[in-house]
Amino acid sequence: MKRDFLRVSDLTKDEISALIDRAIELKSGKDASACPLIGKSVGLIFEKSSTRTRVSFEVGIYQLGGQSISLNPKEIQLGRGETISDTAKVLSRYLHAIIIRTFGHDRIAEFAENSTIPVINGLSDDHHPCQILADLMTIKERKGKIEGIRVAYIGDVNNVTNSLIEAASILGFELVIACPEGHEPSYEVLDYARENKGDIIVLRDPREAAGKADVIYTDVWVSMGQEAESEAKKDRLKGYQINSDLLSCSNRDVTVLHCLPAHRGEEITDEVMDGPNSAVFDQAENRLHSQKALMEFLVK
């Protein structure tokens, strides 16, 4: 039976743990000659711009022996009014998997419902599960474990935060979110956390959230599609910058994460992003290895 990866909760705790361990193996060069995608083709539909997701998937598909096919939404019939369901049914006859980076999560959910091949969420407005696999891999590399650590997410709550909440609920790490009033996580993801006994705390004070943190995580304050409210959001979030003063509240060996792209000088300073606590570029590299492990698992 085909499996999709639309959100972190599509995988079990054991599956996520196994994928992280496999990604670390692949990064080390073990099984470098393994090519589970030989003779297989993977499509990429990107309705949003991308650097890390596009390059890491295309390189990963190539390294696993497969062929990637970029399907520009403006050049296929989906961009001229063909339905999502018809597109999914047709592409299922040609491809072995498809990666979609889109806006509304309902679009990728509808595609997966009508597809007979695995569908991977490269990003939607509500979830960013592939990013979280790389984040978990980075935490495991830096801390030696995931369960029991304290992660502080500080700033604008978005698709990354939603996926972190699911990951924390499944894997058993503490997640403390610091955000201004009106920027809280949705009821849906908080309900999921409660149902799964997730250790999720939402605070206003970023210094309190950073206290005793093993990992501090942030993202841009203005995501794609939110440019119209740019200045208002920046004004609300100006006290939530990741800087050396905030790091002084956390553990000395705190690891700093940012899913990139970064707006240096807004949500994070150069001093922190380029400093000794930063794992930002390891985190970006790990997109490649974690997604290779994911495709090896999903594409049969």
| pTM of the predicted protein model | 0.96
Catalytic pick among 7, 131, 135, 150: 131
Query: How is the chain split into domains, by residue range?
Result: 8-128+287-298, 131-283
To the nearest 10 degrees (0 to 180), the angle between helices 13-28 and 280-298 is 110
Q: Is residue 223 predicted with pLDDT exceeding 80?
A: no
Instruction: Residues 8-128+287-298: name the CATH superfamily.
Output: Aspartate/ornithine carbamoyltransferase (3.40.50.1370)
Residue 80 burial (C-beta neighbours within 10 Å; 0-12, 13-18, 19+): exposed
Active site residue 135: no
The pLDDT score that the predictor gives to residue 227 is 66
Active site residue 101: yes
Q: What is the pLDDT of residues 239-271, one digit of tens each?
A: 999 999 999 999 999 999 999 999 999 999 999
Q: Is residue 197 predicted with pLDDT exceeding 70?
A: yes
Q: Could you report how far apart the first and last alpha carbons of the chain are, in Å?
A: 10
The pLDDT score that the predictor gives to residue 31 is 83
Q: What is the CA radius of gyration of the chain?
A: 19
What percent of the chain shows pLDDT beyond 90? 92
The pLDDT score that the predictor gives to residue 226 is 63
CATH number of 131-283: 3.40.50.1370
Cβ-contact 272, 247 below 8 angstroms: yes
Cβ-contact 121, 127 below 8 angstroms: yes
Active site residue 131: yes
- Separation CA 264–CA 27 (nearest Å): 28
Cβ-contact 133, 290 below 8 angstroms: yes
Q: What is the pLDDT of residues 75-134, one digit of tens each?
A: 999 988 999 999 999 999 999 999 999 999 999 999 999 999 999 999 999 999 999 999
Q: Is residue 228 predicted with pLDDT exceeding 70?
A: no
- Exposure string of 18-35, with b = 16+ CB inside 10 Å and e = fewer, is ebbebbbebbeeeeeeee
The pLDDT score that the predictor gives to residue 292 is 98
Q: Please state, rounded to an integer, the average pLDDT across all residues of the chain.
A: 96
The pLDDT score that the predictor gives to residue 225 is 62
Catalytic pick among 4, 10, 214, 219: 219
Active site residue 183: no
**What tokens does 257 get?**
């994460």
Cβ-contact 47, 73 below 8 angstroms: yes
- Separation CA 62–CA 294 (nearest Å): 14
What are the beta bridge partners of residue 201?
176
Catalytic pick among 126, 150, 259, 291: 259
Catalytic pick among 22, 127, 128, 142: 128
Q: What is the pLDDT of residues 20-66, one digit of tens each?
A: 999 999 999 988 788 999 999 999 999 999 999 999 999 999 999 99
The pLDDT score that the predictor gives to residue 79 is 83
Q: What is the pLDDT of residues 143-181, one digit of tens each?
A: 999 999 999 999 999 999 999 999 999 999 999 999 999
Catalytic pick among 7, 52, 96, 101: 101
Active site residue 219: yes
Active site residue 35: no
Positions of E strands within the chain: 41-46, 67-70, 97-101, 119-123, 150-154, 174-178, 200-203, 215-218, 255-258
SS3 207: helix
**What tokens does 247 get?**
């790091």
Q: Please choose, from the candidates 291, 262, 266, the residue with its C-alpha nearest in 3D space to the C-alpha of residue 278.
A: 262
The pLDDT score that the predictor gives to residue 222 is 83
Catalytic pick among 96, 150, 258, 287: 287
Q: Please choose, from the candidates 152, 111, 161, 107, the residue with its C-alpha nearest in 3D space to the C-alpha of residue 131.
A: 161
